[in-house]
Amino acid sequence: MLTRNSSDVIVIGAGVIGAACAFYAARAGLAVTVVDRGSVAGGTTGAGEGNLLVSDKGPGPELELALLSAGLWRELAGLLPEGIEYELKGGLVVASGEAGMRALRDFAAGQAKAGVTAQEVSADRVRELEPCLARGLPGGFLYPQDAQVMPALAAAHLLRAAGERVRVRLGEEVVGLLTGSAGEVRGVRTAAGEIRAPHVVNAAGTWGGRLARIAGVELPVLPRRGFVLVTEPLPRVVRHKVYAADYVADVASGSAALQTSPVVEGTPAGPVLIGASRERVGFDRTLSTEVVRRLAAGATALFPVLATVRAMRAYAGFRPYLPDHLPAIGPDPRVPGLLHACGHEGAGIGLAPATGLIIAACLAGGEQPFDIRPFRPERFDPPVP
């Protein structure tokens, strides 16, 4: 039964991951309290571009998660209001030279065996798909399964669609975990008081490591900063999500140093979004003119027409990074009743539905869609001698 101070499960975090966990848990018949120290989508979700990608993932557990989520997002698009701006527009990955094309062919061949649709695009065809692209590119690969949503609205509508089984408490920071005599979860303590539940889900995004420490365990989530440039509203200059082949390597890199690779996409509202940058500088939001310069240069190299367009703003966000680039999803055996759903880095919006489905199955005893052991939260613990 859902009351103000008790429920079946508490989800900490009202971003898209927490919203998906709440949505699927409610669908499984559970009463859910969602707690966030800020607002809905006030963290990483609100700073995201809304990418739902399979194109940047090689074969493995993250790609399994992405393919499942791609199907679930299509279902959700029919359930949630059109305002989430779901668009199955496809992704176009372009090479700058023949060596890049060979690398893309090898990458796509591996993906195809895992269920990804990837279509090689010739130099002539690539400009048919994107007429404003720079001339002289040797070609690329089209990924029709790539899509986009408006992430903040998607999170809000997931919470709303969950119905009366979900209560949302905003502006309440979790400061402690309530436990029983055997260390099992009994709820959380916030500045406003106690909330009781036998299960707690850590969906705190970039702050997931801090939440884990409050629970007495280690989860090495670190912030990885990225900037996005937003142009003035334009006609549909960019039809797909378009990015250079080296973006895939940057996503997979563990380097703390600044990395940039051009990623350009239009939006239904008109502005063009320009990324992508990655660096580990803590929670420093200071505007970096070097990053902005690199993003602008990369975007205009791909789309020369953007050289005459005004950038209206730039903003920063923090991706929740884990060292092996896989999220932590599922029960934490170190604290009975504690589950984690964090560490998705820049893929959280795309991976949210599958994550929520997995968490709901853990809570309700349902069957998992595939082997979730690669995501186990305790995998970073030192081996027992």
Tell me the CATH number at 252.
3.30.9.10
So what's the pLDDT on residue 252? 58
CA–CA distance, 154 with 137 (Å, rounded to integer):
35
Structural domain contains residue 336: yes
Do 260 and 312 lie in one domain? The reply is yes
- Is 192 a domain residue? yes
Q: Are 32 and 11 in contact (CB under 8 A)?
A: yes
Q: Any idea what the CATH number is for the domain that residue 163 is in?
A: 3.50.50.60
Same domain, residue pair 136 and 263? yes
Looking only at Cα atoms, what is the longest distance across the chain?
A: 69
Helical (H) or strand (E) element with 164? none
Same domain membership, residue 231 and residue 279:
yes
Q: How far apart are CA 331 and CA 264, in angstroms?
A: 37
Q: Is residue 318 helix, strand or coil? A: strand
Whether residues 126 and 230 fall in one domain: yes
Entry field: residues in the chain: 385
Q: Are residues 277 and 333 in the same domain?
A: no
- The reply to whether 170 falls in a domain is yes
**290 shares a domain with 235:** yes
| Same domain flag for 162 and 211 | yes
Write the DSSP symbol of residue 113: H
Measure Cα distances from 293 to 32, 51, 261, 358 in Å: 44, 23, 12, 40
Q: Is residue 85 part of a domain?
A: no
- Residue 372, Cα to own-chain centre: how many angstroms? 18
Q: Give, as one character, the DSSP assignment of residue 279.
A: B
Structure tokens at 356: 């929520």
Q: DSSP H helical segments within the chain, as ranges?
A: 16-27, 61-79, 98-113, 123-129, 151-161, 208-214, 246-252, 289-302, 348-364
pTM for this predicted structure: 0.95
- Let me know if residue 83 belongs to a domain: no
Q: DSSP secondary-structure letter at 6? A: B
- CA 296 from chain centre, in angstroms, equals 23
- Domain boundary, last residue among 298, 321, 344: 321
What is the rounded CA–CA span in Å between residue 209 and residue 222? Answer: 7
List the pLDDT tens digit at each of the 385 positions of the chain.
566 688 999 999 999 999 999 999 999 999 999 999 999 999 999 998 899 999 999 999 999 999 999 999 999 999 998 879 999 999 999 998 898 899 999 999 999 999 999 999 999 999 999 999 999 999 999 999 999 999 999 999 999 999 999 999 999 999 999 999 999 999 999 989 999 999 999 999 999 999 999 999 999 999 999 999 999 999 889 999 999 887 776 565 667 788 888 899 998 889 999 988 999 999 999 999 999 999 999 999 999 999 999 999 999 999 999 999 999 999 999 999 999 999 999 999 999 999 999 999 999 999 999 999 999 999 999 876 6
Q: Compute the distance between CA of residue 198 and CA of residue 303 in angstroms, rounded to an integer.
A: 53
| Domain total in the chain | 2
Shared domain for 207 and 94, answered yes or no, is no
Domain assignment of residue 265, given as a range: 90-144+222-321
Whether 231 and 263 map to the same domain: the answer is yes
Tally of CB atoms within 10 A around 286? 8
Same-domain check for residues 16 and 27: yes
Q: Specify if 80 maps to a domain.
A: no
Q: List 311's β-bridge partners, or say none.
A: 231
Which tokens is 106 given? Answer: 């090898």
Q: Is residue 63 part of a domain?
A: no
Q: Are residues 95 and 229 in the same domain?
A: yes
- The domain boundary residue, chosen from 321, 337, 368: 321
Domain termination site, one of 293, 321, 349: 321
pLDDT at position 163 is 94
177 DSSP β-pair partners: 188
> What pLDDT score does 6 carry?
85
Shared domain check, 236 and 203: no
Residue 59 placed within a domain: no
